[in-house]
A and B are shown apart, each in its own frame.
Chain A
Amino acid sequence: MASREYQGQTVEVDAEGFLEDSSQWTRDIARGIAEEVGIGELNEKHWQVIEFCRKDAEAKGDAPGLRRISKLSGVNMKELYKLFPKGPGKLAARVSGLKKPHSCI
């Protein structure tokens, strides 16, 4: 298991950089991961997606897949690809401190 430091806080991550323990997540960690993966500064829309992902994962037990995010978060598919370029499903989960969504496996 690897560990990484974001804004002075050390957390355990898996081989692909997903947080091992989602309860260690903070908004500062989200900012740190966003910078690391090339998203840059997080805006209001990013936070809308992140908050949806965390709430949904808490209710359902798993990180939501991309289709679920685009249907229920209020941010549509096109915007999601702008906010989290390349792989919004994977990236939104990672920035939100969740495991890789099943639909990506």
Chain B
Amino acid sequence: MKHLVVIGGGTAGTLVANQLIDRLPADWALTVLDPEPTHLYQPGLLFLPFGAQDEARMVRPREKTFKRGILWLREGVEEIDTAGRRIILSHQEPIPYDLLVLATGSRICPEETEGLLGQAWQKSIFDFYTLEGAQKLRAALKDFEGGRLVVNVVEMPIKCPVAPLEFLFLADAYFTRRGIRDRVELVYATPLDGAFTKPVASHLLGSMLEEKGIRVESEFNAGSVDGEAKVLQSWDERKIPFDLLVTVPTHKGAHFIEAAGLGDELAFVATEPATLKAKEHDNVFVLGDATDLPSSKAGSVAHFQGSVVTENLLRAIHGRSLTEGFDGHSNCFIESGFGKAMLIDFNYDVEPLPGKFPWPVVGPMQLLKETRLNHWGKLAFRWVYWNALLPGRSLPISHRMSMAGKYKPEFVLP
């Protein structure tokens, strides 16, 4: 019996396992390793701080997310022995593998920034990338009566690069609804030189921040936090005082990636951009947040990569050459507050552009434009996630990006 092992039962690992199980030859077994008993719908985290009580619909028992035939071991990984092709587990005997999928994701590391985890952690400093963080922030925002709220991205790359912007848009709407917007100053401190990583979207999102009266401190590389004095300081000694700090801390790959020397300085795995094979190992594939690729760390990317990894695992099993199928495709809703959202669609080479999606002229979604339909799309996505994406069903969006229906606006400089 041959053995395919998937490490990580998040979005990426689960959808690949579910896509593969019905297509594996009879002499192959599939095991997923993940120590966590539940699967968390991460896009929901954004809405919790603003009063949503969605926890029950955001969490499912992990065993219910896998198709029949997949063996899920509730086990943590200590080490990967790539030379001996086996995985050292936390409690049980090591297990051998013939093919390995690293879907080990990314995690926030607030300990990387001096002072972030001090006395003020979860009192006046919060994250919203964990369930606990988002819930505690919800309580803090409820009691917030005015002052300066600073959102800070410590360093790139982060999971869902648009989430900090969405947080600010939603905060603007939230305080407006509570009638205290004039008493709240919103500041966005980012290491980027603008609102986003790509020019057209950065221009549009930048003007939206301006219209909503949100101040941007760009090229701000956070060096330390003084929780007692409530001051955020950059490496070049710029200071931003805050009443409430919402931090998006440094992200890293899994612990054992770091320990095994499989990753770069942030423990992300060196991955071939088009085949998604690990650069240094022929029988290892990588997808989702775990890669070192310049594509976004987002669920949609994991989904598009999933089609390519599934295809390449089957090709590897049958001894055929790999497809260079992944083009960096990413597709994200950007919640902009007041019941509206935008949609962006891009890849390694083509930045997010305005237009219609997924079909030219008829849409019905509009790219890079705030509409109510996009907002409903974002909300409906939770259903799509549990019922189509995670079970590995095909969606009406190709894993390769399409230029149909898009155009380049005139304000873009060459």
Cα of A66 to Cα of B266 in the assembled complex, Å: 12
In chain A, positions 43-84 with a C-beta closer than 8 Å to chain B are: 65-68, 71-72, 77-78, 80-81
- The one of B197, B265, B266 that contacts A105, using a Cβ cutoff of 8 Å: B197
User: Are B236 and A71 in contact, with the CB atoms below 8 A?
Assistant: no
Min C-beta distance of A100 to chain B, whole Å: 11
Cα of A65 to Cα of B265 in the assembled complex, Å: 10
Is A103 at the interface (CB under 8 A from chain B)?
Answer: yes
Instruction: Return the chain B residue nearest A68 by Cβ.
Output: B265
Cα of A81 to Cα of B237 in the assembled complex, Å: 9
Interface hub of B197, B237, B264 (most chain A Cβ within 10 A) = B264
User: Are B266 and A67 in contact, with the CB atoms below 8 A?
Assistant: yes
Is B319 at the interface (CB under 8 A from chain A)?
Answer: no
Instruction: Name B's interface SS.
Output: loop
B residues in contact with A40, CB < 8 Å:
none
Is B156 at the interface (CB under 8 A from chain A)?
Answer: yes
Min C-beta distance of A19 to chain B, whole Å: 20
User: Are B264 and A68 in contact, with the CB atoms below 8 A?
Assistant: yes
A residues in contact with B264, CB < 8 Å:
68
Cα of A85 to Cα of B221 in the assembled complex, Å: 12
With contacts A67-B265, A67-B266, A71-B265 known, is A81 near B236, CB below 8 A?
Answer: yes
Instruction: Return the chain A residue nearest B157 by Cβ.
Output: A103
Interface residues on A, range: 10 to 19
User: Are A85 and B294 in contact, with the CB atoms below 8 A?
Assistant: no
Instruction: Return the chain B residue nearest A102 by Cβ.
Output: B294
B residues in contact with A77, CB < 8 Å:
223, 235
Is B219 at the interface (CB under 8 A from chain A)?
Answer: yes
With contacts A67-B155, A77-B223, A105-B197 known, is A86 near B265, CB below 8 A?
Answer: no
B residues in contact with A65, CB < 8 Å:
265
B residues in contact with A72, CB < 8 Å:
265
Instruction: Return the chain B residue nearest A77 by Cβ.
Output: B235
Min C-beta distance of B344 to chain A, whole Å: 17
Min C-beta distance of A52 to chain B, whole Å: 13
Q: Which residues of B contact A (CB under 8 A)?
A: 155-157, 197, 219, 221, 223, 235-237, 264-266, 294
Taking A66-B221, A67-B155, A102-B294 as given, write out 16 further A-B residue pairs in contact, using a Cβ cutoff of 8 Å, ordered by the A residue number.
A67-B265, A68-B264, A77-B223, A77-B235, A78-B235, A81-B235, A81-B236, A81-B237, A85-B236, A86-B219, A87-B219, A88-B235, A103-B156, A103-B157, A105-B197, A105-B294
